[in-house]
Amino acid sequence: MPNAVETLGKETVASLKDRLEESMSPFTRNGVPFKQLIEQGLLTPSCGLTPLGSAEAAARALELLTDLSSAIRKRYL
């Protein structure tokens, strides 16, 4: 079974951006503007960082979140 670092190593900002946009689509279909979701949203690790089990995995998760936030803001704000 892959560890957290290996799993995070397979993620990219692009893959996370696609997943984020897809997860927001039910809200936008119901009339919430996507830009509003971005402006009022907060990206966080889904289950916190403790379950990742290592400082390396936690640092990678935070790096991905930082880069994802920058990419989303550049594109939509």
> 37 or 57: whose pLDDT is higher?
37
**Mean pLDDT across the chain, nearest whole number?**
86
Average of per-residue pLDDT across 2-22: 83
Spatial neighbors of 60 by CB under 8 A, at least 6 apart, are 5, 8, 9
Domain boundaries, the chain: 4-76
Pick the range with the lowest mean pLDDT from 10-19, 20-29, 37-46, 62-71: 37-46
Q: What is the pTM of this model?
A: 0.79
Q: At 70, is the pLDDT very low, low, confident or very high (cuts 50, 70, 90)?
A: very high
Residue with tokens 């979140």, as numbered in its chain: 65
Query: At 59, phi and psi to the nearest 5?
Result: -65, -40
Q: At 18, is the pLDDT very low, low, confident or very high (cuts 50, 70, 90)?
A: very high
